[in-house]
C-alpha cells in the first residue's frame, strides 16, 4: 500500500541541515571574504548569515566580521538555519522539502513573469527566498495558476524533479480540485463537462463544436446556492489553459468576477476561482502527497 501524507493548512516545511565549506586561498578578513564568495547575495543578507551564527571558521562559529583568515583555513556556511523564517503577504509556503515547494498563492499575484512584469511573481519571491538560504539554489516552474486565481500550486527545486514530474504529469497528479462561485444555478447538481478548447488571436480560450482544439474534461458538483450565485467544486481530468473559465461560460454560468468570460457581476472584487486541493505522487519518495486549503469565506457567503 502506498504511504499517504496529508496536509490541511499550516507550515510543514522540513529544515535539513546543509553546510557549505570553502578553503581560504590567501590571507583576508572574514566579511570581505564572504562578500566576494557570496556575491550573488545582497550585502545585508551576507551580514545576516554572520549575525545569526551561520558562519564558522575551522569548525568554530563566529560572529566577528573582522576575524582574520589565513591560507588553508576552512570557512563554513550553515544554510539549514536560514530556512526558519519566510513571511510574504502574497503567498504562504505550506510545505517544503529538498525537491519541492507547495504554496498557497493569493489572487492578484502572477505565477511567473511576463514581458511587462518581472519582479512581482510567485517564481521571483520563492527564488529570492531560496537564494537567501543558499545562492546556488534554483526553482523550476511545474504549472501555473492564473493571476486572479488563488490557491495551491507547487514548484520544483531541481531540474531532475521538474523533468520527472512534467514527463509524467497526468499520472503523477492524482487530483486537482478547484472551487468557484458561478452566476446562476446550473441545471444539474453534478455533471461531467467534456468539450474541445481552442485559443483565438486575442489569447482567449473558448469551446468549439467543430472537432478542433484540445479535449478538456471537468466534473463539477454543486455545494450550495442561493440561485443567483452557486458555489461549485470542480475536479479537473485534464489541465488545459483557462479550462474551467471557458467551460463554465459554455454552459451559461460564468465564474463571478470573470468579465473576460462573460460574467456580468463582480460581488467579491476578484475572480471567484480558487485551487483548493492538489494531490500527487512524490517523484522521489513515492508517497501520495495531499494538500488542501479552506474555501475562501467570501465564496461561501456569496452563495449562501
Q: Which helix (H) or strand (E) holds 140?
A: strand 140-141
Q: Which helix (H) or strand (E) holds 224?
A: strand 214-225
DSSP secondary structure letter of residue 289: E
Buried b / exposed e along 157-183 (16+ C-beta atoms within 10 A): bbeebbebbeeeeeebbeebbbbbbbb
**Active-site position among 99, 128, 146, 191:** 146
Rounded CA separation 280/303 (Å): 30
Closest CA to 241 of 172, 149, 124: 149
Active site residue 235: no
Measured from the Cβ of residue 135, the count of other Cβ atoms closer than 10 Å reads 17
- In this structure, are residues 263 and 256 in contact, taking their beta carbons and an 8 Å threshold? yes
For the annotated catalytic residues, the residue numbers are 146
Amino acid at each position: 500500500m502506498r504511504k499517504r501524507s496529508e496536509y490541511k493548512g499550516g507550515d510543514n516545511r522540513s529544515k535539513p541541515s546543509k553546510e557549505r565549506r570553502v578553503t581560504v586561498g590567501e590571507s583576508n578578513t572574514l566579511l570581505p571574504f564572504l562578500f566576494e564568495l557570496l556575491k550573488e547575495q545582497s550585502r545585508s543578507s551576507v551580514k545576516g548569515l554572520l549575525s545569526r551564527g551561520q558562519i564558522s571558521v575551522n569548525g568554530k562559529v563566529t560572529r566577528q566580521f573582522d576575524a582574520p583568515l589565513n591560507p588553508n583555513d576552512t570557512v563554513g556556511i550553515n544554510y539549514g538555519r536560514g530556512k526558519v523564517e519566510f513571511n510574504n503577504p502574497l503567498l504562504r509556503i505550506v510545505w517544503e522539502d529538498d525537491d519541492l515547494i507547495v504554496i498557497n498563492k493569493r489572487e492578484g499575484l502572477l505565477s511567473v513573469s511576463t514581458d511587462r512584469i518581472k519582479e512581482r511573481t510567485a517564481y521571483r519571491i520563492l527564488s529570492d527566498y531560496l537564494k537567501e538560504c543558499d545562492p546556488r539554489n534554483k526553482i523550476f516552474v511545474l504549472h501555473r495558476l492564473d493571476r486572479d486565481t488563488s490557491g495551491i500550486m507547487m514548484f520544483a527545486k531541481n531540474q531532475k524533479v521538474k523533468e520527472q514530474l512534467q514527463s509524467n504529469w497526468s499520472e503523477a497528479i492524482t487530483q486537482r480540485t478547484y472551487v468557484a462561485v458561478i452566476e446562476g444555478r446550473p441545471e444539474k447538481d453534478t455533471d461531467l463537462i467534456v468539450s474541445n478548447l481552442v485559443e483565438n488571436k486575442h489569447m482567449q480560450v473558448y469551446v468549439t463544436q467543430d472537432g478542433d482544439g484540445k479535449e478538456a474534461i471537468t466534473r463539477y458538483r454543486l455545494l450550495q446556492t442561493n440561485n443567483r450565485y452557486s458555489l461549485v467544486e470542480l475536479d479537473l481530468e485534464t489541465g488545459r489553459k483557462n479550462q474551467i473559465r471557458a467551460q463554465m461560460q459554455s454552459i451559461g454560468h460564468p465564474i463571478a468576477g470573470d468579465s473576460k468570460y462573460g460574467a456580468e457581476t463582480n460581488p467579491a472584487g476578484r475572480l471567484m476561482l480558487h485551487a483548493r486541493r492538489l494531490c500527487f505522487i512524490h517523484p522521489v519518495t513515492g508517497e501520495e502527497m495531499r494538500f488542501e486549503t479552506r474555501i475562501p469565506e467570501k465564496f461561501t457567503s456569496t452563495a449562501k
